[in-house]
Amino acid sequence: MKTAERQFTTISGVPIDPLYDQPVAALPAPGEFPYTRGIHRDMYRGKLWTMRQFSGFATPEETNRRYHYLLAQGQTGLSVAFDLPTLMGYDADHVMSLGEVGKCGASVCSLEDMEILFHGIPLGDVTVSMTINSPASVLWAMYLAVAEQQGVDWTRLSGTLQNDILKEYIAQKEYIFPPRPSMRLVTDTIEFGARHTPKFNPISISGYHIREAGSTAVQELAFTLRDGMEYVDWALQRGMAVDDFAPRLSFFFNAHSDFFEEIAKYRAARKIWALAMRDRYGSRSERSQKLRFHAQTAGCSLTWQQPYNNVVRTALQAMAAVLGGAQSLHTNSLDEAYALPGEHAVTIALRTQQVLAYESGIPNTPDPLGGSYFLEKLTADTEDAANDYIRRIDRMGGMIPAIEAGFPQTEIAAASYRYQREVEEGERVIVGVNRFQSPDPPIELLQIDESSGHHQSAKLSALKQRRDNQKVRKNLDALMRAAEGTENTMPYILDAVRSYATLGEICDSLRSVFGTYQETAHL
């Protein structure tokens, strides 16, 4: 009896043929529309990707010390991690913040904290990315106010605000307000940025968290790009011209372990976005049509078993991101399945990028894998599958109706269940977890105690005693009136921030107008 031939697939379940020996189609060169092979003709021959390690923990003071350390080690951009209370719009002294202050990022409650966070860091010379979503406009206002204090013109500022609320409803679940007022706030930042911060990206449309929630590569790609189209739709409805804001839209993708599937995903992303911007939205600017993206290696792939294996995983994933044409990159640390990264671990993660940049030879030619029969077919298949999802969401009326119906959430949950079942049944091998087990070596971990919460609460109390509380109240009242109407809220948020209104006070003012959101279960 003949044994059935083993079926090979990608992590996402895409079948892999025994041999690929035919070209799919002729492709334009790197830097040429639709940019499948990269958005720049020379790619890294002209400029390396930005090495932007995601970092933040405990207090602004401690995080500031880590930033100075990383910059001294050769990091070329900052990426701010905020703690859970900050992400949810709560001050450190709120009852909902108890036990969480500084645990998964830096605690930032006011302009004073932002001043400390960037003390000694010239914002006109260092690009800054901030991973913040529902209260993104408030934290961005604090950053802009610090730049003012440093005497840096906003036109010089460069960096990225994550600000992607749609993926919160889909995957990460760190939302405050209902979808439509949240989209209004995002559109306010896009409009304000187009007018005042021409080098700063007001949004980073993020597939990373969609993938971390358990999606396939195709789902990550499709839902992310369709989110991007939703933001374009809202900005157009605001009355903006597409080429006035689209060049500053950026993207953020996961770099998972299936090497070729990830590279194909990035290539397909560029092509789908370029065609959509030209044909769907009538863009005439190359800058609008070029998809620029940051990548981060896959946190969900890290294991607490045999943690030094994570160094190898991270290197493989980082190489896929670079071969896929990322504009900036974060490499995860070996200890992140246990805790926030320690100084030794984050240094290894940064050195991984530097080895790729300076020792591997990969940057020496643009798109070195272009022309691979396998990669080109995988790119075409990924593009077709993602476009199928996009068309399905279009038929639902857009991403917000799709989210309200639970469509992307259900698709991700099903994919996550399939993957976990494969791991538990041994169909998919995770080294050190379900095969090749051995005792785990001890590693040094970063410890964050409760002192961060006490420190931040004491600072808040002192701040509220010395600030002009009448001015704070006046600015918060003006913000609420603007939120009740149709004005852009950013100027009012800036006024509140400058008067040292806290994050929690500003978010509470918006909660009083917009309400809060509670997800409905979808079966």
d(CA 487, CA 492): 9
In the chain, the number of structural domains is 2
DSSP conformational letter for 9: B
Strands 203-206 and 200-201: unpaired
Q: Which of 8-22, 190-204, 419-433, 490-504 has the lowest mean pLDDT?
A: 8-22
Annotate 321-345 with DSSP letters as a single string.
Answer: HHHTT-SEEE---TTTTTSSPPHHH
Instruction: Quote the tokens at residue 348.
Output: 């290894």
- Are both 149 and 265 inside the same structural domain? yes
Query: Based on the domain organization, do 299 and 230 belong to the same domain?
Result: yes
Q: How many CA atoms lie within 13 Å of 300's alpha carbon, on the beta-carbon side?
A: 16
pLDDT beyond 60 at 19: yes
Sheet of 50-55, strands arranged across: 200-201, 159-161, 128-131, 77-81, 50-55, 328-330, 293-297, 249-255, 203-206
The rounded distance, in Å, linking the Cα atoms of 351 and 295 is 16
Which domain range does residue 495 map to?
455-514
Question: Does 479 lie in the same domain as 350?
Answer: no
Mean pLDDT, range 130-142, rounded to an integer: 98
pLDDT confidence bin for 7, thresholds 50/70/90: confident
Q: At what angle do helices 343-358 and 309-323 cross, to 10 degrees?
A: 40
Nearest to 52 by CA among 164, 197, 204: 204
Residue 181 resides in a domain: yes
How far, in Å, CA of 144 to CA of 152, rounded? 9
Q: Could you say which DSSP state residue 198 is in? A: T
Same domain, 396 and 470: no
Same domain, yes or no: 298 and 392: yes
Is residue 476 domain-resident? yes
Q: Is the domain of 231 the same as that of 135?
A: yes
CA angle 451, 453, 455 (to 5 degrees): 65
- Structural domain contains residue 71: no
Q: DSSP code of 253?
A: E
For residue 12, pLDDT over 90 is answered with no
Express each pLDDT in 185-208 by its tens digit.
999 999 999 999 999 999 999 999
pLDDT of residue 22: 87
Kindly state whether residues 372 and 256 are assigned to the same domain.
yes
Q: Where does residue 417 rank: exposed (0-12), middle (13-18), buried (19+ CB within 10 A)?
A: exposed
Residue with the bigger pLDDT between 313 and 12: it is 313
Across the range 462-478, mean pLDDT stands at 98
Give the separation between CA 129 and CA 160, rounded to whole angstroms: 4
Cis peptide before 198 (omega within 30 of 0): no
pLDDT confidence tier of residue 521, bands split at 50, 70 and 90: low
**In which band, very low, low, confident or very high, does the pLDDT at 24 lie, cut at 50, 70 and 90?**
confident
- Specify if 132 maps to a domain: yes
Residue 32: inside a domain: no
Token representation of residue 467: 């600030």
Q: Of the candidates 381, 401, 424, which is a domain's last residue?
A: 424
Amino acid found at 93: D
Q: Encode burial over 383-397: b for 16+ CB neighbours within 10 A, e otherwise.
A: bebbbebbeebeeee
pLDDT of residue 442: 82
Give yes or no for residue 489 having a pLDDT over 60.
yes
What are 205's strand-pairing partners? 251
pLDDT value of position 418:
96
- Coil vs helix vs strand at 6: coil
Q: Clarify whether residues 484 and 345 are in a common domain.
A: no
Question: Quick check: is 499 in a domain?
Answer: yes
Q: What would the mean pLDDT of 248-253 be, rounded to a whole number?
A: 98
Residues 469 and 349 in one domain: no
In the prediction, which pLDDT does 444 show?
87
**Predicted confidence (pLDDT) at residue 1 exceeds the cutoff of 50:** no
> 3-state DSSP call for residue 375?
helix
Same domain, 325 and 467: no
Position 485 in a domain: yes
Calpha distance 523→512 (Å, rounded): 31
Residues 366 and 496 in one domain: no
Segment 266-289 shows an average pLDDT of 98
What mean pLDDT comes out for the span 121-134? 96
Residue type, 411: E
Q: Residues 431-456: pLDDT tens digits? A: 999 999 998 888 888 888 889 999 99
Question: What pLDDT is recorded for position 4?
Answer: 57
Query: Does 77 have pLDDT greater than 60?
Result: yes
CA distance 76 to 73: 9
Angle CA(209)–CA(213)–CA(219) in degrees, nearest 5?
80
> What rounded mean pLDDT belongs to the chain?
95
% of the chain at pLDDT higher than 70: 98
Do the domain assignments include residue 65? no
Return the closest-CA partner of residue 477 out of 463, 461, 495: 495
